[in-house]
Amino acid sequence: MTKLFKSLMALATLFLAINILHAQPVRQVVNIVVSPDHADWHYKTGEPVEFKVTVLQNDFPLDNITLNYEVGPEKMEALKKGEVTLKNGTATIKAGTLNKPGFLRCFARVTVDGKEYERYATAGFDVDKIQPTTTLPSDFTEFWENWKKELAKIPVKPILTLMPERCTDVVDVYHVSMQNIDGKMYGILCKPKKEGKYPAILHVPGAGVRPYFGDVSNAAAGIITLQIGIHGIPVNMPQGVYDDLAAGALKNYNRVMMDDKNNYYYKRVYLGCVRAVDFIYSLPEFDGENVAVTGGSQGGALSIITAGLDSRIKWLAALYPALSDLTGYLEGRAGGWPHMFMSNEAKLASRIETSKYYDVVNFARFVKVEGWYSWGYNDNVCPPTSIFAAYNVIPGKKESHLFLDTQHWTYPEQRDMLTKWLQKRLLK
């Protein structure tokens, strides 16, 4: 391999990790550890929870430091506030309980040398009993079947442009475009050079506006991979172009036309995921049967949505799915990203009605294929209450892998588990 190629692959790997799966936070000088008194972080409703807080500097306990704490459900107002003095670096906070299924989060804050440090942990109460607040419209299936029929009238018309600078000795990499409803979809296709028939993975993206680099690693293992963007713009432009779009035309894209369910921004996105599957099926190298979908955050949502919309998907692997149980805030509990109903001005009847046709929960009800799901109780972007609301209604075979202390990021071991799970099913 050339030095340039190695640099490009390293950059591609970095972007894939950051943009899809999110990076771990950097460790700070002062380390706060917040631990519920149950090792599995699980409680029965009505059962009290205590949080032990340990504060370390240079891995040594701090003494006689004031610790401020707040306790309450995720994304909601605190139910309890107070302060305690650390003794030998530790303090115990009696947090109370919840009388219905949900989560209780304890924030701990200290100030050392003029800088504030914060950490939190989240206890779950009868989480397998959490039910959605959103409801399924009577015409939900009809609505999406009609739009899929409209999409089917539009030819795929794929255009593949080889990207020689990204190809390897075993993988060809292409920038691709295809016709979608109301415009085009773009992505990065990676496929093995060796002749044969291969399974495929569709990578659906997390939130934001950015370029993409493709999944060369799985392609080298013998899997066709397609990584798509959702905004109807090429995905191989300079970063500055996407920065400008994110600050301008595509700012708050997740709220565009939310008053109209037939023209909401995500209609074209969801149908675009179906179109991406159409494209995969058009590839002569595809084995015609085995295709999985995967992503994190918005991509976790799109993974469930695609599997619920398209029966051609055989497996899905989703990390901390967004867009789940959006109406939670209307019932006094956390809703899913992008939290559009957290503010009063967004609580319009038309937007609430539109949300029901786009909420992950209502697609999850129709997911019958085998799925691998993973998230953490400390997620502050996609609250665990919203994720369980979707996960608990999935009728298909499913397995959850809880990395309890994670926020909106993943451990390397978590990512490795996801990859091995997919490869075990696709590379039979």
DSSP alpha helices (H): ranges in 101-201? 140-152
Catalytic residue, chosen from 177, 203, 297, 359, is 297
Tokens of 20: 């899809």
**End-to-end Cα distance, the chain:** 29
Q: How far apart are CA 300 and CA 423, in angstroms?
A: 18
Q: What are phi and psi of 133, to 5 degrees?
A: -95, -25
Q: How far apart are CA 413 and CA 158, in angstroms?
A: 36
| Helix/strand/coil for 290 | strand
Q: How far apart are CA 51 and CA 91, in angstroms?
A: 8
Q: How far apart are CA 54 and CA 241, in angstroms?
A: 45
Catalytic residue, chosen from 172, 310, 325, 379, is 379
Tokens of 225: 């991979």
Q: How far apart are CA 54 and CA 35, in angstroms?
A: 9
**How many CA atoms lie less than 13 Å away from 339 in the CB half-sphere?**
13
Tokens of 159: 């255009």
Judge whether 408 counts as a catalytic residue.
Answer: yes
Catalytic residue, chosen from 42, 203, 231, 408, is 408
Judge whether 297 counts as a catalytic residue.
Answer: yes
Instruction: Catalogue the active-site residues.
Output: 297, 379, 408
